[in-house]
């Protein structure tokens, strides 16, 4: 892995070689998230626009020269990433935004964005010879880890809050992971998973804590830029829970910029639920100090008391001169309906949160309708059927006669 120089602590800047630390900078307990540092001279020789044009591997592995994996590490036998970037005529017409794109990451193997991070973590665990891999998860990261691990027969242990939507728990079970439903919230599951991984020597994929999750997530930024012919968009709207997706996207954009493959870094627009807004609060107060909240929102995937990648999330927004927005649960349900009806993209609440943020930004006149804007939809609607029915309403019931149908249509 001669293209990776090591790690750099996001808080104190201390640099480490790859074998000096495993997860975080030891000077800040579990919160010292580290960035992976690349040798851009080497990467630049291996990853070029021309080479990508001739590369028919339409998955995250097409960017392996910019991923922290060994050059000969076999990819997982699943199609991860290279999700569609739609320009929906009807939605764009309705919003009078000709250059709006929807990236549907619900189209990944386990139906969420999290396959990007979990696949890189599984490949790393295999490279490191670690037999059991574990994570805490609101549901999607765990389902992704369980699925990615199942693809190579690796044992996985998943800690999720007992309130996780049933469909996500069903996925965990179907992929054969050991599922531990924690009688508590995501934050408690996170801490328990850390303790268990230390006790039993399991490889820990916990979001943000594991330096490679952001690296997997950054592939969405690489795809967006490539799908737009290397014209970076003006803005990207991203829902924020732990803050690791937005920090991963930021990292991807910074890497591309450092390589000279894009000529600007888009403004990143973080969107949180009003009831789970620790990062947005910090950004509004112009501080990187993240104060925990008592999270409550219908968008279970972004219901987080203490974001585990909060500092880098706030930085992603401030450094790109974007903004944080907060949206209500009703805004999120509206967004789910509109996305499904105007663009035929069926999103779970946390995915539609990004779109709800776009609507709010339009209302507040924070954006120009001609800008090139990408909204990242991070999870499929079937992940949380109860919320979908809440958004869409109940179906009509009818006797099996034509007369009954006529009555209904009157």
Ligand X SMILES: Cc1ncc(COP(=O)(O)O)c(C=O)c1O
**SS3 category, 401:** coil
Name the binder of 378 from Zn ion, ligand X, none, CB < 5-8 A by kind: ligand X
DSSP code of 72? Answer: T
**SS3 category, 134:** strand
Q: How far apart are CA 109 and CA 58, in angstroms?
A: 14
Q: Binding ligand X by CB under 6 A: which of 348, 356, 360, 367?
A: 348
Interacting span for Zn ion (CB under 5 A) from 20-28, 249-257, 300-308, 335-343: 20-28
Residue 229, Cβ neighbours under 10 Å: how many? Answer: 7
- Cβ proximity to Zn ion: between 277 and 314 the closer is 314
Q: Binding Zn ion by CB under 5 A: which of 17, 27, 231, 370?
A: 27
Residue 9 near Zn ion by CB under 5 A: yes
Count CA atoms within 13 Å of residue 355 on its CB side.
33
- Tokens for 75, please give them: 């990819």
Q: Binding ligand X by CB under 6 A: which of 207, 210, 297, 387?
A: 207
Interacting span for ligand X (CB under 6 A) from 145-153, 169-177, 225-233, 343-351: 343-351
- The phi, psi pair for 328, rounded to 5°, reads -80, 165
Residue 322 near ligand X by CB under 6 A: no
- The phi, psi pair for 326, rounded to 5°, reads -120, 145
Q: How far apart are CA 161 and CA 19, in angstroms?
A: 33
Residues 358-397 that bind ligand X (CB under 6 A): 378-379
Residue 241 near ligand X by CB under 6 A: yes
Residue 83 near ligand X by CB under 6 A: no
Residues 285-314 that bind ligand X (CB under 6 A): 301-302
Closest CA to 218 of 242, 250, 240: 250
Name the binder of 11 from Zn ion, ligand X, none, CB < 5-8 A by kind: Zn ion
Residue 161 near ligand X by CB under 6 A: no
Q: Least separation, in Å, of the C-beta of 142 and ligand X? A: 9
Q: How far apart are CA 127 and CA 215, in angstroms?
A: 16
Number of H helices, E strands in the chain: 16, 13
Residue 242 near ligand X by CB under 6 A: yes
Residue 171 near ligand X by CB under 6 A: no
Closest CA to 31 of 7, 12, 15: 12
Applying CB under 6 A, which residues contact ligand X? 112-114, 138, 140-141, 207, 239-245, 301-302, 348, 350-351, 378-379
């Amino acid at each position: 892995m001669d293209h990776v120089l090591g790690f750099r602590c996001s808080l104190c800047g201390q640099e480490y070689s790859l074998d000096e630390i495993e997860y975080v900078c030891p000077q800040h307990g579990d919160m010292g998230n580290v960035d992976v540092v690349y040798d851009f001279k080497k990467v630049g020789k291996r990853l070029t626009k021309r080479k990508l044009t001739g590369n028919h591997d339409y998955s995250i592995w097409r960017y392996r020269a910019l991923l922290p994996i060994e050059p000969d590490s076999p990819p997982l036998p699943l199609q991860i990433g290279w999700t569609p970037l739609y320009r929906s005529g009807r939605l764009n017409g309705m919003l009078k935004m000709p250059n709006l794109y929807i990236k549907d990451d619900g189209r990944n193997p386990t139906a969420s964005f999290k396959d990007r991070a979990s696949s890189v973590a599984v490949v790393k665990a295999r490279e490191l010879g670690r037999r059991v891999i574990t994570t805490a998860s609101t549901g999607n990261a765990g389902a992704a880890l369980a699925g990615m691990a199942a693809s190579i027969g690796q044992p996985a242990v998943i800690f999720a809050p007992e309130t996780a939507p049933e469909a996500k728990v069903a996925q965990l079970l179907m992929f054969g992971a050991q599922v531990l439903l924690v009688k508590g919230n995501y934050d408690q599951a996170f801490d328990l998973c850390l303790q268990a991984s230390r006790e039993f020597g399991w490889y820990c994929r916990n979001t943000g804590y594991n330096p490679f999750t952001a690296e997997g997530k950054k592939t969405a930024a690489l795809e967006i830029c490539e799908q737009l012919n290397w014209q970076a968009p003006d803005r990207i709207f991203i829902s924020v829970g732990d803050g690791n997706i937005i920090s991963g996207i930021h990292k991807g954009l910074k890497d591309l910029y450092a390589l000279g493959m894009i000529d600007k870094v888009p403004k990143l627009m973080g969107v949180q639920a009003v009831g789970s807004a620790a990062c947005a609060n910090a950004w509004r107060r112009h501080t990187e100090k993240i104060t925990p909240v008592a999270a409550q929102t219908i968008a279970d995937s972004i219901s987080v008391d203490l974001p585990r990648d909060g500092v880098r999330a706030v930085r992603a927004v401030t450094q790109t001169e974007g903004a944080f927005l907060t949206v209500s649960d009703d805004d999120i349900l509206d967004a789910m309906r509109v996305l499904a009806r105007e663009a035929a993209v069926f999103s779970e609440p946390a995915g539609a949160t990004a779109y709800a943020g776009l609507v709010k930004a339009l209302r507040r006149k924070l954006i120009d309708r001609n800008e090139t804007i990408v909204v990242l939809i991070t999870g499929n609607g079937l992940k949380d059927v109860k919320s979908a029915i809440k958004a869409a309403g109940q179906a009509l019931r009818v006797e099996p006669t034509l007369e009954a149908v006529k009555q209904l249509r009157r």
